Amino acid sequence: MRDVSLAMLASLMASAVAAPFVFKMLVAMKSRQNVSAHLAEHAHKQGTPTMGGIIVLIGLLTGMACTWRAEYLGVLVLVLGFAAVGFADDFLVPKMKPGSRGLHWAPKLGLEIGAAVGAAFLTGWNDPVQMGVFVFLVLFLSNAYNFSDGLDTLAGGLGVILSAGLALIVIFPPMAGLGTKLVTELSTPLSTQYSIVIICSSLLVSFLPFLYLNSPPARVFMGDVGALPIGAVLAWIASMLLLPTGDPTVNISLSNLFPLAVLFGVMIAEIIPPPLQVFWVKVFKKRLFNFKTPIHHAFQEKGWPETRIVWLFHVVQAGLVVLALGMIWL
């Protein structure tokens, strides 16, 4: 608890102090959001500074630095690697190619896979099955969380709730699939659990100063530079609950698989429709779904105000956390 308290205090102070300076820097850099032409209801957001997720990352990295552990190496690679990809997508490519909305999907995916593989090795997942599961989860959740960064406070609020839910799962290890069986399989189970709780706690409080600037009407957006690494960190935490690092013969903890799938239900709903929609349009020349994707835009299309949509998603996410915890504990 001492390390958790230190990490939370350091993360909150760092992100709060950094927030006004980062905001002024983004304005000076003219880091502007390019709104898609398909979202007419977002036209008023054109030109709003993006890359505000840097505020969250500063807080998270500060909390990690104050409580440094060897288990953090994989997380550090994910944060720096995916933040670099996000920076190129948010700023470098649009500056070099005016009118562009960022990196092409192929180099972006390749860079993400490279960072995920490096993090897997540093974390101890050298078995091909474990590494494949980890890389899939990182790609899935990093891009799912990035899709959720579409409405004011939506991604930030979801991040707070998910961080709290994952921390609660690990705070009660005997009930979380890290009990009798897995304790014998993990080389340092308590250290691993401490690391997860510290990272969850640091991430949770680091969102708060960003949410102040992102509250409607948002003065800054999270951007890929923040959403991609944050989603990757959430995937690392989920992987630590699914993939034992001490025994390569145990590929996945099935006891945690379904509860974690429930916990990340909103992320699943956010990421699955867009690629299916794009594939259907390219192949069959018509839309598979009769609504806009990602899913939160479908509610906008029906005329719902942003604040109502955001509250719905936050309440649903909180409910899924409670459901997942109940499944694990009971």
Q: What is the domain extent for residue 177?
A: 77-192+212-329
| Statement: residue 7 has pLDDT above 80 | yes
In a domain, 201, yes or no: no
| Statement: residue 65 has pLDDT above 50 | yes
In a domain, 204, yes or no: no
Question: Which among 105, 134, 129, 103 has a CA at the least distance from the CA of 117?
Answer: 134
Give Cβ neighbours of residue 134 (< 8 Å, ≥ 6 apart): 116, 119, 120, 123, 125, 235, 236, 239, 243
Confidence of residue 210 (pLDDT cuts 50, 70, 90): very high
Q: Give the separation between CA 90 and CA 86, rounded to whole angstroms.
A: 6
pTM (predicted TM-score): 0.90
pLDDT higher at 192 or 101: 192
Cross-strand partners of 32 = 49
CB 232 within 8 A of CB 137: no
Q: Give the separation between CA 80 and CA 74, rounded to whole angstroms.
A: 10
Q: Give the separation between CA 301 and CA 29, rounded to whole angstroms.
A: 33
| Statement: residue 321 has pLDDT above 80 | yes
Q: Give the separation between CA 182 and CA 248, rounded to whole angstroms.
A: 12
| Statement: residue 8 has pLDDT above 50 | yes
Count of domains for the chain: 1
In a domain, 299, yes or no: yes
In a domain, 17, yes or no: no
In a domain, 3, yes or no: no
Q: Please give the average per-residue pLDDT across 60-69, as a whole number.
A: 96
pLDDT higher at 289 or 94: 94
Helix (H, G, I), strand (E, B) or coil at 71: coil
In a domain, 82, yes or no: yes
In a domain, 156, yes or no: yes
Give me the pLDDT at residue 173, please. Answer: 53
